[in-house]
């Protein structure tokens, strides 16, 4: 039907177009319509590689510029929790207190807005603001690694540009999740973001639904900005990378001691160090210590009984170092598990945990859950 006069137009008046590549100019990757097929038959278009002309956006005067080797040397990196006010905004006072405790207890780096920090529940404005705040307040003392990964390459590029512009030392990048791609697509995705600056690749198939195969890691590891891999598949994979000269951090707190001292891991990117940073520092810095590792197992197992960061959020609230505020879809652990945490603290010793208030069992009514913020 014509958009102007409402008359019907038969589709037979129009030839059915077919796609072909313009053959007169091999460098021309554009596609053109033709009303008839050539005698040779239709030929599938080939992928065109479009250079990232806009990269890099970064200035040569970026604050806290660091080298990839500086990131490779880190042994204890904490995936930091993001605390909230009762209206759902960031509680920067509590956040700064958590940061100070990490620095005082020997953490060398922090992941800002990672899975533990609930970056997936933030707008990009919130996310970049928190990275910038962390850099401005603590960037001279501890390495700030911003989680600027995304399943959209365009968003990952833009967030990384902004993160480095506000001074983060390195980026953490995950492979595209849900809308999974091919191995070649994963490589292209990482190569697009590696141009920005030092980067840790994050492999966690339990969340992405897709393992990053070693062949992909070996390819992207050749890029000068690849600092290494946060690996959650297990210690055999960690040993494979370490033996091949690729820096790797354990992403599993329950395996990190053996990964560090038996399989060649540089260290750990830890959730548990939010709670007991001094003990995790000892585990990573002071040699093999199976006794301490065993003592930490009940805490680590408790933390990950439900998907992270549910256990951590509940624990920090009961220690009195953050307000008991949850952004949905996260909700606190049930009362019996909250009681169990109090007993774990008493067994390990309250002095090893962050904060200076007595650990307590919070009531259901003490918690605030927020859907809109």
Catalogue the active-site residues: 202, 230
Residues 6+ apart with CB under 8 A from 194: 220, 223, 225, 226
C-alpha span between 252 and 204 (Å, rounded): 10
Secondary structure (3-state) at 125: helix
Helices (H), 275-320: 277-285, 290-303, 310-318
The CA distances from residue 146 to 199, 247, 293, 299, 323, in Å, are 9, 18, 28, 27, 24
Is it true that the peptide bond before 309 is cis, omega within 30 degrees of 0?
A: yes
Measured in degrees and rounded to the nearest 5, phi and psi for residue 182 equal -80, 170
Backbone angles phi, psi at 370, to 5 degrees: -125, 130
Which of 240, 237, 266, 272 has the alpha carbon at shortest distance from 254?
Answer: 272
CA distances from 140 to 16, 135, 211 (A): 64, 8, 35
Question: Residue 270: what are its φ and ψ, rounded to 5°?
Answer: -115, 145
Q: Which of 2, 360, 72 is nearest to 228 (CA)?
A: 72
Q: Which phi and psi angles does 364 have, rounded to 5°?
A: -55, -40
**269 pairs with which residues across the strands?**
77
d(CA 212, CA 231): 9
The structure tokens listed for 20 are 């072909």
Q: Kindly calculate the radius of gyration of the chain based on its CA atoms and give it in whole angstroms.
A: 25
Which contacts of 186-190 are long-range, i.e. CB under 8 A and separated by 24 or more positions? 186/212, 186/216, 187/216, 187/219, 187/220, 188/153, 189/153, 189/156, 190/216, 190/220, 190/223
């Amino acid at each position: 039907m014509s958009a102007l006069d409402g008359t019907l137009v038969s589709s037979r008046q129009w030839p059915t177009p077919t796609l072909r590549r313009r053959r007169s100019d091999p460098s021309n990757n554009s596609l053109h319509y033709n009303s008839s097929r050539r005698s040779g038959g239709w030929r599938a278009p080939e992928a065109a590689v479009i250079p990232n002309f806009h990269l890099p956006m970064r200035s040569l005067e970026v604050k806290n510029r660091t080298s990839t080797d500086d990131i490779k040397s880190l042994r204890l990196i904490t995936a930091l929790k993001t605390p909230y006010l009762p209206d759902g905004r960031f509680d920067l006072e509590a956040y700064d207190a958590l940061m100070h405790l990490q620095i005082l207890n020997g953490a060398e780096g922090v992941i800002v807005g990672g899975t533990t920090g609930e970056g997936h529940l933030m707008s990009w404005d919130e996310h970049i603001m928190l990275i910038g705040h962390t850099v401005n307040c603590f960037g001279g003392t501890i390495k700030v690694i911003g989680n600027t990964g995304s399943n959209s390459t365009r968003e990952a590029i833009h967030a990384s540009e902004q993160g480095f512009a506000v001074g983060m030392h390195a980026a953490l990048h995950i492979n595209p999740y849900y809308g999974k791609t091919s191995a070649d697509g994963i490589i292209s995705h990482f190569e697009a973001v590696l141009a920005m600056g030092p980067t840790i690749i994050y492999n966690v198939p339990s969340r992405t639904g897709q393992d990053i195969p070693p062949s992909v890691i070996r390819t992207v590891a050749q890029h000068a900005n690849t600092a290494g891999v946060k690996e959650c598949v297990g210690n055999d994979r960690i040993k494979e990378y370490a033996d091949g000269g690729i820096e790797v951090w354990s992403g599993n707190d329950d395996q990190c001691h053996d990964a560090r001292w038996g399989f060649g891991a540089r260290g750990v990117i830890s959730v548990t160090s939010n709670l007991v940073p001094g003990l995790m520092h000892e585990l990573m810095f002071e040699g093999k210590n199976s006794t301490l590792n065993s003592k930490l197992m009940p805490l680590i197992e408790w933390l990950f009984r439900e998907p992270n960061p549910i256990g951590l959020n509940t624990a920090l609230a009961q220690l009195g170092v953050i307000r008991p505020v949850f952004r949905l879809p996260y909700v606190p652990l049930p009362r019996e598990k909250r009681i169990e945490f109090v007993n774990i603290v008493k067994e390990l010793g309250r002095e090893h945990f962050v904060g200076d208030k007595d650990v307590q069992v919070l009531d259901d009514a003490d918690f605030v859950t927020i859907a809109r913020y």
